[in-house]
């Protein structure tokens, strides 16, 4: 994947309302599984899992398997990089 395409993909994923919401929820908690996210959001498992897959692809969330559950948490390093770049893009549009 070309860097420009990847950067565009990252921005598109981060612009998704559901993805933003999931990141905010994960950021407010140490670690959650899909079942926890279903209980918190009221969204169905498929919608959550699809967004988590995208967030994993851009390394915005970490995951670990424990038994039958997969636990998710925010990758704060990647989040910081995205927030930094987002701020730089805002500066360019001023």
Query: Which comes out higher in pLDDT, residue 48 or 14?
Result: 48
> Is the Cα dihedral 83, 80, 14, 48 positive or negative?
negative
pLDDT in the model for residue 15: 80
pTM of the model: 0.83
How confident is the model over 19-42, as a mean pLDDT? 96
Q: What percent of the chain has pLDDT over 70?
A: 95
Q: Report which DSSP code applies to 47.
A: H
Sketch out the chain's domains with CATH numbers: 3-92 (1.10.10.10)
CA separation for the pair 64, 22 (Å, rounded): 17
Residue 43's pLDDT band, with cuts at 50, 70 and 90, is: very high
Whether the predicted pLDDT of 94 surpasses 80: no
CA separation for the pair 77, 48 (Å, rounded): 22
| Alpha-helical segments (H) within the chain | 3-14, 17-28, 34-41, 45-57, 76-92
Per-residue pLDDT of 56-68, as tens digits, reads: 999 999 999 999 9
CA separation for the pair 24, 9 (Å, rounded): 19
């Amino acid at each position: 994947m070309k860097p420009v395409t990847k950067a565009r993909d990252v921005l598109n994923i981060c612009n998704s309302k559901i993805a933003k919401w999931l990141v905010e929820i994960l950021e407010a908690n140490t670690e959650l599984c899909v079942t926890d996210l279903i209980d918190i959001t009221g969204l169905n498992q498929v919608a959550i899992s699809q967004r988590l897959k995208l967030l994993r692809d851009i390394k915005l969330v970490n995951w670990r398997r424990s038994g039958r559950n997969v636990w998710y948490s925010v990758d704060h390093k990647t989040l910081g990089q995205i927030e930094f770049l987002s701020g730089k893009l805002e500066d360019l549009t001023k």
